[in-house]
């Protein structure tokens, strides 16, 4: 699956998936076959970090 390149759209896509389908970031990355560290790095560039209690990037 091709992920959005725009960081804001990527954030929206990932948080929607986390809310609606995946119970954790690890599960999401596994189902999309992406590296968790790379995803976290892309979203950290726009000052978002993963909060496991909320299961969202905040």
Tell me how far apart the alpha carbons of residues 24 and 55 are, in angstroms, rounded to a whole number: 6
At residue 26, the pLDDT reads 98
Give the pLDDT of residue 1. Answer: 75
pLDDT for the residue numbered 56: 98
Report if residue 32 sits inside a domain. Answer: yes
How far, in Å, CA of 57 to CA of 12, rounded? 9
Say what the pLDDT of residue 33 is.
97
Would 21 be classed as within a structural domain? yes
The number of folded domains in the chain is: 1
Q: Does residue 1 sit within a domain?
A: no
- Which residues are CB-neighbours of 51 under 8 A, at least 6 positions away? 57, 58
d(CA 3, CA 16): 13
CA distances from 35 to 22, 23, 40, 58 (A): 15, 17, 9, 19
Q: What is the pLDDT of residues 1-58, one digit of tens each?
A: 799 999 999 999 999 999 999 999 999 999 999 999 999 999 999 999 999 999 999 9
Residue 43 confidence (pLDDT): 98
Residue 15 in domain: yes
């Amino acid at each position: 699956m091709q992920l959005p390149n725009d960081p804001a759209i990527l954030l929206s896509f990932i948080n929607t998936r986390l809310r609606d389908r995946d119970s954790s970031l690890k599960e999401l990355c596994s189902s999309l076959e992406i590296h968790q560290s790379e995803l976290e790095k892309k979203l950290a560039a726009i000052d978002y970090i993963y909060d496991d209690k909320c299961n969202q990037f905040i």
